[in-house]
Amino acid sequence: MVYTTIPREINENMARAKAYLKRDEIIRSLDAAIFALTTYTQVRIVGTAKFMAEVLFHEYANELSANWTIKQFFAARGLTRGPYVIYKEGREQLLADGLNALKAAIEKVNNASRHQKEEQAKKDRQTLLSKGLELLYTKGGEAKGRAVLRRYIDHYGHEPGVIVEIANHFLKANLPLEAAELFERAMEAFPKDPKGFTGAIQAYTATGDRNKVENTYLLILRTFGAHPNTYLRMSKFYLAWNKKDKAYEYAARALDGDKSLKEAQLIMDKIDKRI
């Protein structure tokens, strides 16, 4: 088929290529230009339309050579003077191949740079965590350690397990109030992760806040459903709180759900003897 006007695919993709170039989206710009050039080689365009298409390719080659990112790319390879991209009429496929090669080279550099940044980010993260833990477990450095670890949470707390990890360190460092606060935050952020709930129970137990322990157990039942082992832990908790009726009730529930839980039977027998 002979075209007397520039096909839409060529016009639109060259327009995209220039627009992406202005936004410094080099890869997307190259993709659009390559598509337009390849399309051009597959059709026959005559007259003014052919001339206008060639003008588009000339303009793009010049604008690409003048782009700051492209200049930096070639300067890093010892080429400080352009033009870096040249178009000649009738060599559209050669230009497309050249742009493909340029794209591959840029992507290789970008991938290497991205990998380097990712590795540095991992090192920075580990350094921040190590510094915080070292201070936390050093006498006199606890306050600074808490501050560093809270900063660590601010950066990475959106990831599952991070808040709980730091909360457990606070608990280990005998800071149950701070630990409880973090476990509460974990429960809110990750309501399907049981570690936040069990950690909160440990922290509340350490602070002696039995009401919060009880409320957390009940929340666990509502969130994760009934389980014999949960009932058994609740029974032991109520027994320590001297709430014998509750202790007996949950021991019975535990035993009803799992006959192998001998400890539940022992609790019930113990309470029966006291009665």
Q: CA nearest 9: which of 51, 41, 46?
A: 41
CA distance 112 to 3: 43
pLDDT of residue 78: 86
Q: Does residue 261 contact residue 254 with C-beta atoms inside 8 Å?
A: yes
Site of tokens 């670890």: 149
CA distance 212 to 270: 26
Spans in the chain with pLDDT lower than 70: 274-275
The alpha carbon of residue 84 and the mean position of all alpha carbons in its chain are separated, in whole angstroms, by 38
Burial of 118 (0-12, 13-18, 19+ CB in 10 A): exposed
CA distance 102 to 108: 10
pLDDT of residue 1: 76
CA distance 91 to 107: 24
User: In whole angstroms, how far apart are CA 56 and each of 2, 6, 82, 153?
Assistant: 19, 10, 19, 52
pLDDT of residue 238: 95
Phi, psi of 3 (to 5 degrees): -105, 135
CA distance 24 to 73: 13
The alpha carbon of residue 50 and the mean position of all alpha carbons in its chain are separated, in whole angstroms, by 49
Q: 234 CB contacts (<8 Å, ≥6 apart)?
A: 217, 246, 250
Burial of 8 (0-12, 13-18, 19+ CB in 10 A): exposed
CA distance 63 to 48: 22
pLDDT of residue 275: 52
Produce one character per residue of 164-179: b if its CB has 16 or more CB atoms within 10 Å, e if not.
bbbbbbbbebebbebb
- Rounded to two decimals, the pTM is 0.69
